[in-house]
Amino acid sequence: MNKIELEQTFESFSKLNVLVIGDVMVDAYVWGKVDRISPEAPVPIVSCVKHESRLGGAANVALNIKSLGASPILCSVIGEDEKGKEFLNLLTEIEEEQYGIVVSNKRRTTVKTRFISNNQHLIRVDEEDTHELADEIETEFIDHIKSLIEKHEIHAIIFEDYDKGVITKNLIDEITNLANSKAIPVLADPKKRHYNDYKNVSLFKPNFKEFVEGSNLLLEKGDIQGLFDEAKKFQNKMGIKKLFITLSELGVFISNEKTYEHIPAVVRQIADVSGAGDTVISVAALCLATGMNARQIAAISNLAGGIVCEIPVVVPINKDQLLAESSKIIDKL
């Protein structure tokens, strides 16, 4: 791939529609100053300066897809509550109409509130329900997603699983089977509950910890050959075409069963790793949908994950910055 081909590929992102299915949330931030310790307990007192709410979870994946120039269709279930209304209001940033959102009075909208002082993350408070969808809501949600796939030209589907209950085994099976029948690439960013349910997907993206725990392995992160040996076994068992494992400070690994690529990390000033996985799966989806090979997918996604880690809040990737950094490694793509 040369620089012109890379630029053309990035430009082609604007023609893509990506279905994002998963757990959504409001990422709330309380910014403040700490200048004393509470007399009630040995904890800092945060004097609030400002509040901010942003799209989180699978919605952050949709935000990254939008930031890269493509069109996301976000599919999730939220609560019939004030935070749900706030979420829908935030979602207008990226979707004028919330085609894929189902509202239920049987669960709360997930909110994660982070308290930050002097760019230091002090504490996080979670408000959420994590039980799986009730049967009637699950059926409604699956049928709704199927109708969206039939109605729109979809170029990739992402399962963004945060183990909050929106993604179920039935949903995974039915949507993956439909997508495969239409030759739509399916990517999965798994968590523990449904780790072994993502069979026959195009690309499976756990981090190293998720991979060794989900596969019940004893493996050192730096043992790349050992990782490839286990990757081949897992892919064969699951029918997965590409296994993409993030290795934090060691970069990323991708296997297509026959060969593998290990892309080292780029040295950066890390401020916040929150949301990096969302960015990686978003970039991987667009790269896969445009026909990039495994090495290109891994290398560009690796850059994207590193870029967003330099910022102390969850933010989407900047397309121009990613293109500029990708151009610098063009000889390695």
Q: Name the residues annotated as catalytic.
A: 278
The residue among 156, 148, 139, 241 whose CA lies nearest residue 198 is 241
What would the DSSP string read from start to end of 170-193?
HHHHHHHHHHHHTT--EEEE--ST
Amino acid at site 119: N
Structure tokens at 313: 């809040």
Taking the C-alpha atoms of residue 145 and residue 65, their distance in angstroms, rounded to an integer, is: 18
- Displacement of CA 198 from its chain's centroid (Å): 15
CA-based end-to-end distance of the chain: 6
> What is the sign of the dihedral through the CA atoms of 135, 168, 184 and 57?
positive
Identify whether the C-beta of residue 242 lies closer than 8 Å to the C-beta of residue 256. Answer: yes
Taking the C-alpha atoms of residue 210 and residue 208, their distance in angstroms, rounded to an integer, is: 5
